[in-house]
Structure formats: C-alpha cells, structure tokens
Chains A and B, each alone.
Chain A
C-alpha cells in the first residue's frame, strides 16, 4: 500500500517551518536569515532532483546501472569526506577500498539473507539502503580517522616513545587506534540507545506514514540499524588500516603530507 500523495498546497503548508524560523531569527535579530533561506531552497531542489533521478532509475531498474550508481556514490562519498575533513586527497585511494568492501559486502549480505527482494538488483532496495549505509559510514569514518591522526600528532611524544622502545609502526599505533575507534563509536551507541525511547528513526516513521504495519516497519528499521552498524564498523577499521600505509611512513613517523596545507 502506497502513501497518499501530498498536494502542492500541502507542500506549501509544510514549508511554513521555514517561515517560523525566519520569524524567530527576525525577532531575536540573529543574522542567519539568508543562510536558512538558501539552505531550505538548496535542500528542496536537491531532493526534487534526486526524486526525479530515482524515478528514472526505478523505471530502468538495470542491474548494471544500479551497480554503477552505487560505485559512483562510494567514490563521491570518499572524495567528499576527505575534502570536508582535515586531510587532503592523498588518502583517497587508501580509504576508497574500505568503503567499497564494507558497503558492497554488507549490501550483498542483507539483500541475499534479510531483505530478499524478488529482483536481486532491485533499485528500490539497493539504492536507498546503500545510501543509508554510506551516509552513516562516512560520518563515523571521518571522525575516527581525524581522531586517530590528530592524537598521534598531538601526543607525538607518546607515540615516538613506543617506537623508541622497539614497537613496530602497528604496535605503536594500536593504543591510538583503540582510542579513536572508541571515541568514534560513542555517539553512535548513544544514538542507538535513544531509538524507540526518545526518537523514532526517519525510515521507520516514513514507512508507517506510508501505510506499513508498525511491526514490519520496526523489523526493517532494526535490520537497517544492524546493517549500518556492520558497514560502519568494517569501513572504519579498514579505512584506519589502509590509511596507515600512507599516513605513517616506513620508519614509523607520521606523514604530515596527509593533512590539508
């Protein structure tokens, strides 16, 4: 059962949120009106374009195009994530395999064993799921990578003291690896712990609004959370391991060439 369409008038009413925030910004004389307006317009245009694009993709439903689209998404994500972080693009080819392996393997596993759509490459399943996996993995991976390299840089004496006591590069990096991994995971755990009590995830809410049975929506949501968790863990660990080939030199020293100018 599909969700009833929202009329144009309904959509205009929904944009009232923007007007409310504009009124508040005017009342409190906060100089952010232009930014809020631009963000709302930009988001609307982007989502409308994605909607049009996905409609075409769903109609075509070609396994080759769907697979290519996912690969393009992963490449774009890798590029964006490095650009928005404190690193330059020299890590690109070291983090790319981490995303490819994690997203493709988790997507395959969940498509084959959990969601089991009639058509294995059904765009309606694999594209939104890949998007969710990628979006979450990206955020977590960049936080962990930044934490890892910045702590080696900040606590360089500790790192060097391990090397000077005979540690291999990997052995010296392990304590930093563990701390970065733990720090990256903490916000995700806090978010997951709040699900169902404080927050209702967007996907589940969307499914319920779309007419799905709440229990089915919950099952899908749980499956997606577990998939996100798996993809995030794999991509984070692999990105850390692969990036070390570039980020730490053969003599164990930190390669400052990976950071933005």
Chain B
C-alpha cells in the first residue's frame, strides 16, 4: 500500500507538486500520467527518499518515509529508473547478482534457473549472462535491469517510464509480467497508453 498525504515537492521557490494525495491499495496496479514536468517522477522518487518533500507525508505499507525509516522502506520497495545505468566492465550476471550481495538481500539470492527463466521471458537469450553490460543494446540493458528488480521480489514496485526505450513486443512482455504479479503493489509513470489500458487505476496529474 502506498499513501501520499497532501505532499508538496518544491525546488527553490517553485513547487512542482502541490498537495498531492492518493492511495494505491495493496496489490493494486496504478499509472501516474500527465504532461512532462508535472512532477510524476518526483512523486515516485519522493517515495524512496530521493527527492525531499516540503509538506505532507508518504507511507508505504504503513511505514512513513523519512530518514529514520529509510532503510526499512528501501528494503520493501524497488524503484526502477527510466534508463538503466551500469559499470561498463561488469557482466550481465554480475550486474544482476550485485544487489544480492547487499546484507539485506543475501537471503534472496535467486537460483540460476530462476534468473534464466526470467531473462528468457523478456525475450533475451541465456547466453547474454556472460556478456558485458556495455555490449548490450539500450533495450536489452533495460530489460536486464527490469529483470534484476523483479528478482528482488519486493511487495512494492515504483517504475519510472521503464518501457519508454523498448519496442512494442518487449514492452508488452514487461507489462505482462507486472500485471501478473497479483500481490505486488505497482505504481508506474508512463506515457504509453498500453499501461493505462492494462493497469486498473490511472492517476492523472494536471491533465484533463
């Protein structure tokens, strides 16, 4: 469950988000839409503490997002950015398994078969695991990044235009996976109509 209680996000004196309130229930799938610059990404980032809020509060599964609780929050959420970035020297396997070296994720280390299955589900070949991340195309790297996030099996996913660089079929595959996750709460920022068509809730910011 994600709850935004009248949050405002301001940069200097300009407020990009003013008194935004919304609740996304447990297991619900919602899309944040609206014109560029209306604060969609800022709202998403504020839920993981990357953007400070100047007013209001945010709760994720009943825990308030603040500096004291930030590690609890980040262990229950997975934020996936629009563009996956990586260390050019690392292989796909190293890239995928790196978050599982974190103390909080060690117990979640996925089995090799689970990784391969997920990779194949995103229309990627298993041999890709030995390649360097820098050798992948933008779309391939993005799909690998999304797969990595999914392996963390978080109860809450925050997706920041994750399919904007993908072709139609790859986007459908990604959308399919997220819509099938019955228990996970998903809040996605996207301009693609497909997300709005598949997800049950559409939150329109500053639009018609």
Report the Cα distance A83→B109, complex, angstroms: 45
Q: Name the interface size band of chain B.
A: 20 to 34
State whether A166 and B104 are in contact (beta carbons under 8 Å apart), knowing that A158-B85, A175-B87 are contacts in the complex: yes
- What count of chain A residues pass the 8 Å CB interface test? 19
Q: SS class of chain B's interface: helix, strand, loop or mixed?
A: mixed
Contact B103 A164 (CB under 8 A): no
- A179: shortest Cβ distance to chain B, in Å? 7
Contact B71 A165 (CB under 8 A): no
State whether A157 and B81 are in contact (beta carbons under 8 Å apart), knowing that A164-B48, A164-B74 are contacts in the complex: yes
Contact A179 B102 (CB under 8 A): no
> Which residue on chain A has the smallest CB distance to residue B87?
A175
Report the Cα distance A171→B84, complex, angstroms: 18
State whether A161 and B67 are in contact (beta carbons under 8 Å apart), knowing that A251-B49, A253-B49 are contacts in the complex: no
Contact A165 B50 (CB under 8 A): no
Tell me the chain A residues, 148-173 only, with Cβ under 8 Å from chain B: 155, 157-158, 160-168, 171
Contact B87 A161 (CB under 8 A): no
Residues of B within 8 A of A62 (CB): none
Q: Which of B71, B79, B101 contacts A161 (CB 8 A)?
A: B79
Contact A157 B102 (CB under 8 A): no
- B162: shortest Cβ distance to chain A, in Å? 12
Q: List 25 A-B contacts (CB under 8 A).
A: A155-B85, A158-B85, A158-B87, A160-B50, A162-B98, A162-B99, A162-B102, A163-B48, A163-B50, A164-B50, A164-B74, A164-B78, A164-B158, A165-B99, A165-B149, A165-B152, A166-B99, A166-B104, A168-B71, A168-B104, A171-B102, A175-B98, A179-B87, A253-B49, A253-B50
* A-B pairs, 8 with minimum CB distance: A164-B79, A158-B85, A165-B99, A166-B104, A166-B75, A167-B102, A251-B67, A157-B85
Given contacts A157-B83, A164-B50, A166-B152, 6 further A-B contacts (CB under 8 A): A161-B81, A162-B102, A164-B74, A165-B152, A175-B98, A251-B67
